[in-house]
Amino acid sequence: MSQSTESTTESNPFTKPGFIIAAALVVALIAATIAIFLLPKGQGSEQPAPAHVESSSSASPSASAEAGSSVCGLPSSSETALGSAPDTNWELVGKMATPTEPDTFGPGTTDEDGFRSCFSQTPKGALYAAANLLAMGSSGDRAINQKLTDRLLLPGPGRDIAKEESQAMPATAAPSSTVQFRGFVIKSYSGSAANVDLAFQTDTGVLGHTVLPLEWVDGDWKLAIADSGRLVNDITQIRDLSGFIPWSGA
């Protein structure tokens, strides 16, 4: 018999708030049943409604979000939609093929330790930011996770919890399962806010998705994190990629 989700949650370190992104992507193979970690009860494999983030820093327009150009000088545009898969250059971040166009859409800045930031104020820039956030978080690298919580999460109770927990995580704790992007939908976009829906697939064939709410603050896209310090309630298993624009580098 397979273990309960509750017992798996207690035994797996990636469910702690410090692994806010990694926990969202880690997939468990329990006995003969494949299930996404922390799948909300009662949802099964239903196609989900858009995720809701319980945070005072929700992805909505604001004067502060609209102000300011790209922190590293990337160009912006007046476009508000992305209806087809962009031509994309991919490179590995950990085990995930991750989009990169450093001169146009981002990441415009990559630190020596691999931390990636600065994305353009465009729909494609928001897509690249969301994908890079998930890829960096899934790497299990403590230094990158600490920078992620410091620089790319919006202030609030969730970020405070995530920062505290990221300081206690092992130096490296990459999950054994491989997850790759399979599609996306830009659910909403303005120059100040975006909701990016990313679909992914595990190396065992399980499909899931998550919606990342982003705000344009201080010249870059920042993630609005739940007050709990984690994104686990936003992860849902899906039957197929219906409704998603196919997009993958591996």
Looking at this protein, which amino acid is placed at residue 97? A
Mean pLDDT value across residues 68-91: 92
- Whether 76 shows a pLDDT value over 80: the answer reads yes
- Whether 105 shows a pLDDT value over 50: the answer reads yes
Mean pLDDT value across residues 54-66: 36
Most confident residue range from 54-58, 61-65, 220-224: 220-224
Q: What count of Cα atoms within 13 Å lies in the side-chain half-sphere of residue 68?
A: 17
pLDDT at 148: 86
- Residue from 236, 226, 232, 195 nearest 213 by CA: 195
- Whether 218 shows a pLDDT value over 90: the answer reads yes
- Whether 9 shows a pLDDT value over 50: the answer reads no
Residue with tokens 């830009």: 186
Q: What are phi and psi of 233, to 5 degrees?
A: -70, -10
Instruction: Give 48-58 pLDDT, tens digit per residue.
Output: 333 333 333 33
Residue 236 confidence class, pLDDT cut points 50, 70, 90 = confident
- Whether 62 shows a pLDDT value over 70: the answer reads no
Question: Higher-confidence residue: 125 or 66?
Answer: 125
Question: Higher-confidence residue: 174 or 21?
Answer: 174
Instruction: Give 151-170 pLDDT, tens digit per residue.
Output: 988 888 777 777 777 666 66
Question: Higher-confidence residue: 214 or 24?
Answer: 214
Residue with tokens 């898969």: 85
